[in-house]
Amino acid sequence: MIDHIGLAIADFERSKKFYSLCLAPLEMELIAEVEGWAGYGRNGKADFWFGPDASAQQPMHIAFSARNRNAVDRFYRAALAAGGGDNGAPGIRKSYHPDYYGAFVIDPDGHNIEAVCHQAEMTGDDYRIETGYLPGLVDAWPKCTPTTIPATGNSRISSRPAWPVK
């Protein structure tokens, strides 16, 4: 597997601004700048590098992994707001596989940049847990509280009220 990739670009500051904005929804950030190159990644490891070069590769296609479909949507909007060009709105690409959800933009140097999620669409409780969206939640509802299963020590969520019920 690939450990990291380096991409030649024409304008360092323009590219740094573009990638800082569009990679943020994918939980990627600027990790380091070394000898005129910028490295972006997660958890302190730079996997994606770019820097100026007189002979930029044209065009490159780079796909970034997204945690969920919402992150793909946010990547697309952020990339367009940062000056990227539309190269394919977020959506299913069934020709790749049934759950391939991707969005494509053109970066300032003409590279085809993609965010992709390979997971099935979340619905119901999975969606609410992942996004933190709990419609209609009111304080009067019983709270879900973590409990420990004595035999294993493993945690689980209990729907028992967090306060005494009369």
* Per-domain residue ranges of the chain: 5-117
| Architecture label for domain 5-117 | Roll (3.10)
Q: For 17-58, how does the pLDDT look when each residue is reduced to its tens digit (9 = 90+)?
A: 999 999 999 999 999 999 999 999 999 999 999 999 877 677
What is the Cα–Cα distance from 118 to 89, expressed in whole angstroms? Answer: 16
What is the Cα–Cα distance from 1 to 12, expressed in whole angstroms? Answer: 27
Q: Taking the model in full, what pTM does it have?
A: 0.70
DSSP SS3 for 19: helix
Instruction: Quote the crossing angle between the two packed helices 69-81 and 12-23, to the nearest 10°.
Output: 150
Query: Could you tell me how many helices (H) and strands (E) the chain has, helices first?
Result: 3, 11
